[in-house]
Structure 1
Amino acid sequence: MSFAFFRRFFYTTTPQAMSAAKTKAQSIIDENAVAVFSKSYCPYCSASKKLLDSLGAKYYLLELDQASDGGAIQDALQEISGQRTVPNIFINKKHIGGNSDLQAKSGELKGLLTEAGAL
């Protein structure tokens, strides 16, 4: 049996919590030029933050493992973006993907960040 099975069995988000989390996640995405949903211990998240920092990007960061509603927000992000893993990155309200997606865009990243007003 997979971890996902146990997670779904033991951790369920109520419809009210899911709705609140989805509203919160969408607000963060809509109100920030760059939004990074991360976990503090994740090496891929660290690599993404390091790349953004190296360019001087201004971004909103939410560490899901440190937020009381982090699990519900991660569930909501899966509904919003189709991606459950972290980092989950949005630039100019557009879903970029995870670390490998961000790294693959490194050549055009400065332009995307400038266009979004994050530099």
Structure 2
Amino acid sequence: MADWFVKNRIRNDKVTLFMKPTCPYCRNAMGILREFNFRPGCLESVDITGMDDVQDYFQQTTGQRTVPRVFIGKTCIGGFSDLQNLYGQLPVILCQIGALQ
């Protein structure tokens, strides 16, 4: 079920942030992403509070259980620090997947 839940939220032309609203790293990750002018529907945050099965699925598929889990297209780039490290490249990456206006 968790794999279906995740796979139905990610797609090639959008950024999906799996998060918990109370997590400061999640809020900071969303803050970084909101700096960009996304096409409608190409930036989604998914609240996974209380969804341990989804976090277990992330552990199996990405090697990390922590939030946020950031997917650019269908690729998990990691968490907040990984997003920070890609910051300078994000405009190019987001344009390549067609997520920006």
Question: What is the TM-score with the length of structure 2 in the denominator?
Answer: 0.86
Aligned residues of 2:12 and 2:73 also touching (Cα < 8 A)? no
State the alpha-carbon separation in 1 of the partners of residues 64 and 7 from structure 2.
14
- C-alpha root-mean-square deviation of aligned residues, in Å? 1.6
- Choose which of 13, 25, 43 in structure 2 pairs with 1:59: 43
Moved over 4 A (4+): none
Which string of whole-angstrom CA distances, capped at 9 and with x for unpartnered residues, describes residues 31-72 of structure 1?
Answer: 66211100101111111100100112331211111xx6x221
Larger-gyration structure (1/2): 1
State the alpha-carbon separation in 2 of the partners of residues 44 and 53 from structure 1.
14
Paired positions, count? 97
What is the one-letter code of the residue matched to 2:4? T
Q: Mind listing any 5+ residue stretches in structure 1 that lack a counterpart?
A: 1-19
**Bigger fraction of residues in helix:** 1
What is the one-letter code of the residue matched to 1:115? Q
State the alpha-carbon separation in 1 of the partners of residues 60 and 99 from structure 2.
26
Q: CA deviation at 1:22?
A: 1.3
Q: 1:31 to 1:24 in 2, by over 3 A?
A: farther
Q: Mind listing any 5+ residue stretches in structure 2 that lack a counterpart?
A: none
Give the aligned partner of residue 8 of structure 1.
none
Identity of aligned residues (%): 36
Q: CA deviation at 1:106?
A: 0.6
What is the one-letter code of the residue matched to 1:62? V
Aligned residues of 2:14 and 2:99 also touching (Cα < 8 A)? yes
